[in-house]
Structure 1
Amino acid sequence: MSEQVPEIEFEESGSKGRYLYRADGAEAEMTFSKAGEKLIIIDHTGVPDAFRGQGVGLRLVTRAVEDARAAGKKIMPLCPFANAQFRRHPEWADVLKG
């Protein structure tokens, strides 16, 4: 029997939003602000110790990249973690705000 991996959730309210990962009573999040119609600014990624080393932070950023790509948006990763992920993933250059 295979384990179900929880989906990344998306919440949006006005000019702010966040991506969430919830499992076993813990919650990881990546927050962002919208700057106009075509730019999102990732400002924070928080991953509790319970999820460390499991790729949860990367999954949060990857979901934002996929969503931005699908919507024709750009991302400005001000969060140090998200910024580091963009440096490690040159294939995301199409959504990186230069």
Structure 2
Amino acid sequence: MTQAADPIVRNVDARHRYEILVEEVSAGFTAYRDRDGQRVFFHTEVDDAFAGRGLASVLVEQALSHVRSTGKRIVPVCPYVAKFLKKHEEFADITDPVTPEILQWLETALAR
């Protein structure tokens, strides 16, 4: 019996998202838009075919680690990212609150 390959997370900047691949198949993504020095995460999803494997957690943890390495800050508009951050305080130092101003900006950015 062969062991499944570890999932791979990659930033696809042109599509404003991090994707998680399982054996070279896209299993999910977390989407963002950049605002000044912030990366605003607004949606995360994992395909039903890959549910129950903890892939969303792997995806978000690696995405947030990448954000840290770039010097940006995190704004968790996405409910999953916000929930993840409550359990992972190691990212608290780079997390900014979701404000009405950010929500308005995001709405405008996504409408383009």
Q: Which range, TM-score by smaller chain?
A: 0.7 to 0.9
Normalising by the residue count of structure 2, what TM-score does the alignment of the two structures yield?
A: 0.75
Q: 8 Å contact 1:9–1:21 — kept in the other structure?
A: yes
Aligned to 1:94: 93
Q: 8 Å contact 1:26–1:50 — kept in the other structure?
A: no
Letter in 2 for 1:3: A
Cα distance between partner residues in 2 of 1:65 and 1:80: 15
Letter in 2 for 1:29: F
Q: 8 Å contact 1:32–1:43 — kept in the other structure?
A: yes
**Stretch deviating more after TM superposition (24-33 or 82-91):** 24-33
Cα distance between partner residues in 1 of 2:84 and 2:57: 7
Cα distance between partner residues in 2 of 1:54 and 1:32: 23
Structure 1: which 5+ residue stretches go unaligned? none
Bigger Cα Rg: 2
Does 1:28 find its partner at 2:31? no
Q: 8 Å contact 2:20–2:29 — kept in the other structure?
A: yes
Letter in 1 for 2:32: F
RMSD of Structure 2 on Structure 1 (CA): 1.8
Q: How does 1:70-81 map to 2 (within 5 A)?
A: 70-81=69-80
Give the structure with the higher percent helix.
2
Q: 8 Å contact 1:65–1:95 — kept in the other structure?
A: no
